[in-house]
A and B are shown apart, each in its own frame.
Chain A
Amino acid sequence: MRPVFFIPLALFLFFAGLAGYMLVNGRFESVPSHMIDKPLPEFSLPPAVDGLPGASRANFVGGEPKLLNVWASWCLPCIAEAPQLEALKEEGVEVIGIAIRDKPEDVADFLNRYGNPYTRIGADDISQLQIEIGAAGVPETFVIDAQGNIRHQHIGDIRADDVPRLLQILEDVR
């Protein structure tokens, strides 16, 4: 045995240790919106579907903290998210939807099929509000407090185990 032949093994073990450490303690974050803890921008969007009013900044001010849900009828994770929004609604949370690049008949069809958790849906046909509040895609959900400030951002669809967490955050910002 010659010590020199152990050098590759030693180097490899060092790398494997480092990689293992980084896997356990690594970061798997997404990029959060820079708008968190800032006031919701001024906006006013027309109704996205017949029978529900449109949405504006004023709808968020006053009362209880609310959820702003950025979604679209053409978005498949939004279908997966629908039961969780329904559950949040049953807990008494007001959810205001922003439909991105959508058509009224598609929105109506989506609500018929997967239920309607929304009190209002604004139509954002050119992704204007979506970009202003720093949402990178659909679906995303923002917690807005009663002063109209953005307090939390949830990226991606809301899974079943996210519901209690969101309820807790809504409670905390009250």
Chain B
Amino acid sequence: MLAELGLAALWLATALAVLQIASGVMGLRGDAKGDALAIYARPAAVVQAFLAVLAFGLLLWAFAITDLSIKLVATNSHSMKPMLYKLTGTWGNHEGSMLLWVAVLALSGGLLAGLERRLPSKTMNATLAVQGFVALGFYAFLLLSSNPFERLPIPAVEGTGLNPLLQDIGLAIHPPTLYVGYVGLSVAFSLAMGALIAKQVTPDFAKVMRPWVLFAWVFLTLGITAGSYWAYYELGWGGWWFWDPVENSSLMPWLAATALLHSVSVLAARDALRTWTIMLGVLAFSMSMLGTFLVRSGVLTSVHAFAVDPERGSFILMLLGLYIGGALAIFAVRAGSISEGKRFSASSREGALVFNNVMLSAILAIVLLGTLYPLLTEAFDVRVSVGPPYFNPAGAIFAIPMFIVMAIGPLLRWKQDKPARLQFEISLIAAVAISIVSLVAILGDYSILAVLGLALAIALGIAALLPLRGRNIRRVPLATWGMIFAHFGVAVSLFGMASESAFTQERLAAVTPGSTEQLGDWNIELRSVDPIAGPNWTAVEARIAVSRGGGEPIIITPQARNFWAPAQATSESALVTRWDGQLYAVIGDQAADGRWQLRVWWKPFVTFIWYGGLLISLGGILSIIGRVRVDLKRRDAVRKGKERREDKAALSNAPQPEPAE
């Protein structure tokens, strides 16, 4: 029953998506008949959201009770799994994760249709039609090529999904977080297309779009932060970013969304950058879909290769061609008819935002090129791997000017400003940056990028707080706090990255139990190495006592695990976190003479990378709350004003009461 209900809900939702498209398109005609049909678009989106969420809820339920008559449950779950991992198993596979994607997509569409009242009806109809069109494609994908509710002819006796590698809380949370981000960008895409089709690219439209972009961006930030930390502690290589195609495909939408976030603010505040905002709206969602395509189709080799299937790849490529190709075609034809909006001088806040928008787009182009380059060369049978030697310097060329402008931009005034007005701030930022560069350069021989990164991080950290100067702290709007937190978070994160790259100390030694190694002010003693066994792995576990500066020793236990189904060796690193960094230990192979390979890093301030990510997200959340609150207040004021006017009108029409005695 469960599976059939779920499937029925999906088919009904599909039908409603068709109704939503038809109704939205009719609404564009602008005559009485069209308007009469357009009223169905909003309810269709709302009910559709309910049905898609219901379908996902039913699949969740099937996993919770381990309904082994459903193929997806039988192949991906097991009755002995802990409940938490039964539930997270729902989206730990291709079909379930696509259903989650569709459910979030429909939910966002429903929220947009149900709550948004500010947009002109023409833009709203076009937006709902586009949103319905996007949803329809994914329903078709789900129902035609990846039905999550497929039954087995004979129910399985037991499920086959007891892979302990996938039973990791980080792995369970990180993908859905990214999904919410990707899908949130679909709403931005629909809004951008709606405004473009209706030719109503206005500040009001930007104000409607902004919370959606912020929302998606917060989730993308959290997803990338979590994913980076997971890779750092789980893969045991001591690195936190590998420029892997899958990592890049989550970074690219984030870069586009960050650019979009800033350009949409310019549009909302100043009515400038109209076409550019629309272009970024299309680009951000294109990058999400491109990421999905690269991950699912297997055209690129990646350490993450998950759910790879060329047939699904063709389907996603088709959807990509339809949506992105279609959107870009409409953009090509229509964009000329939208004027660029208000002009501004180069030294203004808009000017700074435009500059950084271009820098972000350039970084995006570099990441995109590096990610797709192997695809291009493999078409000519040449295999290449593009890695940090390309991405780091090429990205830095644009990131460094971006950070400099980012420090000064928020201090500038809108429309036109004189840099001379900011003499104090600019000299302070420059003095901090230059003194740190010289200080670090005197202290030791570090890479130029790391030194610049440190200097920029500290200068940016100070600059991020400067907009508060001379203001009454309690009267700073929440959205401004959001910006301050987010920019400060970037500085914190950058500081972590630069410090990790400049000051990491590494020790690789062959040791016997009982011997002691020194790394910085850490004392590392290998106590013992013992074999241990898990459900489908065996491991050697080292017991290592580490103490800092003669303090109390702590026991850490890194492992080298061997899984045998499939045969795979993994390294379970052990971490000791201190406020100023992390000790990272990995145990390697045993040499012929019985000594063990021990690899230990001291990574100063490495945790700042992820604290920064969290601060950036917090900034986004503050900004959403601030914007929505202002919006609700305004809506309230508009309503009250309207009531007052109506009351007045009613009063003046009513017969005058007799003056009281």
Residues of A1-51 contacting chain B, CB below 8 A: 1-2, 5-6, 8-9, 12-13, 15-16, 18-23, 25-28
- Whether A18 and B566, one on each chain, are in contact in the complex, defined by CB atoms closer than 8 angstroms, is no
What 1/0 mask marks residues of chain B from 300 to 318 whose CB sits below 8 Å from any chain A CB?
A: 0000000010100110010
What 1/0 mask marks residues of chain A from 60 to 95 whose CB sits below 8 Å from any chain B CB?
A: 000000000000101110000000000000000000
Report which of B293, B320, B336, B566 forms a contact with A2, defined as CB distance below 8 A.
B336
A interface residue count range (under 10 / 10 to 19 / 20 to 34 / 35 or more): 20 to 34
- Whether B565 and A5, one on each chain, are in contact in the complex, defined by CB atoms closer than 8 angstroms, is no
- Whether B160 and A76, one on each chain, are in contact in the complex, defined by CB atoms closer than 8 angstroms, is yes
Interface residue stretch chosen among A115-123, A130-138, A141-149, A163-171: A130-138
In the bound complex, how far is the Cα of B541 from the Cα of A119, in angstroms? 40
B interface residue count range (under 10 / 10 to 19 / 20 to 34 / 35 or more): 35 or more
- Whether B329 and A19, one on each chain, are in contact in the complex, defined by CB atoms closer than 8 angstroms, is no
Chain A residues within 8 Å of B298, by CB: 26, 28
In the bound complex, how far is the Cα of B293 from the Cα of A1, in angstroms? 31
Report which of B308, B317, B372 forms a contact with A20, defined as CB distance below 8 A.
B317
In the bound complex, how far is the Cα of B568 from the Cα of A131, in angstroms? 11
Chain A residues within 8 Å of B282, by CB: 8
Interface secondary structure of A, over-half rule: helix
In the bound complex, how far is the Cα of B286 from the Cα of A72, in angstroms? 45
A98 → chain B closest CB, angstroms: 13
B260 → chain A closest CB, angstroms: 15
- Whether B564 and A2, one on each chain, are in contact in the complex, defined by CB atoms closer than 8 angstroms, is no
In the bound complex, how far is the Cα of B314 from the Cα of A23, in angstroms? 7
In the bound complex, how far is the Cα of B336 from the Cα of A100, in angstroms? 67
By CB atoms of chain B within 10 A, which of A8, A9, A15, A19 has the most?
Answer: A19
A127 at the interface (CB under 8 A from B): yes
What 1/0 mask marks residues of chain B from 320 to 363 whose CB sits below 8 Å from any chain A CB?
A: 11001100110111011000000000000000000000000000
- Whether B565 and A75, one on each chain, are in contact in the complex, defined by CB atoms closer than 8 angstroms, is yes
- Whether A18 and B379, one on each chain, are in contact in the complex, defined by CB atoms closer than 8 angstroms, is yes
Chain B residues within 8 Å of A1, by CB: 332-333, 336
B589 at the interface (CB under 8 A from A): no
- Whether A136 and B567, one on each chain, are in contact in the complex, defined by CB atoms closer than 8 angstroms, is yes
Report which of B279, B328, B333, B375 forms a contact with A18, defined as CB distance below 8 A.
B375
Chain A residues within 8 Å of B328, by CB: 8-9, 12
In the bound complex, how far is the Cα of B566 from the Cα of A100, in angstroms? 12
B-contacting residues of A (Cβ < 8 Å)? 1-2, 5-6, 8-9, 12-13, 15-16, 18-23, 25-28, 72, 74-76, 100-101, 127, 130-131, 135-138
Closest 5 CB pairs of A and B: A137-B566, A9-B328, A5-B335, A6-B332, A2-B336
Listed by A's residue number, 18 A-B pairs whose Cβ atoms lie within 8 Å are: A1-B336, A8-B279, A9-B328, A9-B331, A15-B372, A16-B325, A19-B293, A19-B297, A19-B317, A21-B379, A23-B297, A26-B298, A26-B299, A76-B160, A100-B564, A101-B564, A130-B567, A137-B566
